[in-house]
A and B are shown apart, each in its own frame.
Chain A
Amino acid sequence: AQTVTQSQPEMSVQEAETVTLSCTYDTSENNYYLFWYKQPPSRQMILVIRQEAYKQQNATENRFSVNFQKAAKSFSLKISDSQLGDTAMYFCAFTPNTNAGKSTFGDGTTLTVKP
């Protein structure tokens, strides 16, 4: 069974600064995907970024990037130039690369961007 741990229930950052959200996971799978989802107060879950485990290069999407350390089973999310609209709950998720593999979500980190 997989587990996903987000050790920071709440974080805050000043607008325009950089913040890193941590995520660790445990699995015996070798082939899998990792995701960060964002859930703003509107409650709509939106994919922020994804990483394939077989790729060594860290994924980047505009101001969002990850630090993927496969050996350490760590998958942190870095948000640069934080904006007020980044205020949301962020979920780290693990999905094994099997047909319709079951996703496991972390408990979430509530990020508040302060003006």
Chain B
Amino acid sequence: DTAVSQTPKYLVTQMGNDKSIKCEQNLGHDTMYWYKQDSKKFLKIMFSYNNKELIINETVPNRFSPKSPDKAHLNLHINSLELGDSAVYFCASSPTGQLSYNEQFFGPGTRLTVL
């Protein structure tokens, strides 16, 4: 069974559209993340949720809105897509607490292409 899954794996869309990417983890982790990996492969954190509560919100345009309906799901909605949003978006999860290593488990990524 897949530990961290994302849908869709590929997304091609026109500029100006609104799209969502879904993420689910079945590891029982408390914390989930969204990362953006650009064309140069740099990996930057966008958001983090702990038990459905937003705890990290990096400098990301407010066209990006994460939503966590429960601690196993973290979705990313993007409004008014721009060419520069083209990237691979990774969802990740990690356990937290004193005995955890905060090791992150990554999803397979969603390659978003904005035309």
Q: Indicate the size class of the contact surface on chain B.
A: 20 to 34
Contact B48 A35 (CB under 8 A): no
Instruction: Report the separation of the CA atoms of residues A9 and B50 in the bound assembly, to the nearest whole angstrom.
Output: 33
Bound: A105/B44 CA distance, A? 7
Q: Are B42 and A108 in contact (CB under 8 A)?
A: yes
A90-111 to B contact mask, C-beta < 8 Å, 1/0: 0101010101111111011010
Closest chain B CB from A65 CB (angstroms): 17
Q: Which residues of B lie under 8 Å from residue A91 when comparing CB positions? A: 43
**Beta-carbon nearest neighbor of A89 in chain B:** B41
When the two chains form their complex, are residues A100 and B43 in contact, meaning their CB atoms are under 8 A apart? no
Residues of B bordering A, CB below 8 Å? 30-31, 33, 40-45, 48, 50, 55-56, 88, 90, 92, 94, 96-97, 101-106, 108-109
17 contacts between A and B (CB under 8 A): A35-B103, A43-B88, A43-B108, A44-B106, A50-B101, A52-B101, A93-B104, A99-B97, A100-B55, A100-B56, A100-B102, A103-B33, A103-B45, A103-B104, A104-B45, A108-B41, A108-B43
With A35-B103, A100-B30, A103-B102 already in contact, 13 other A-B pairs whose C-beta atoms are closer than 8 Å = A33-B101, A33-B103, A39-B41, A46-B106, A50-B103, A99-B50, A99-B97, A100-B48, A100-B50, A100-B96, A102-B45, A105-B44, A108-B42
Q: Could you tell me which A residues sit within 8 Å of B by CB distance? A: 33, 35, 37, 39, 43-47, 50, 52, 89, 91, 93, 95, 97, 99-105, 107-108, 110
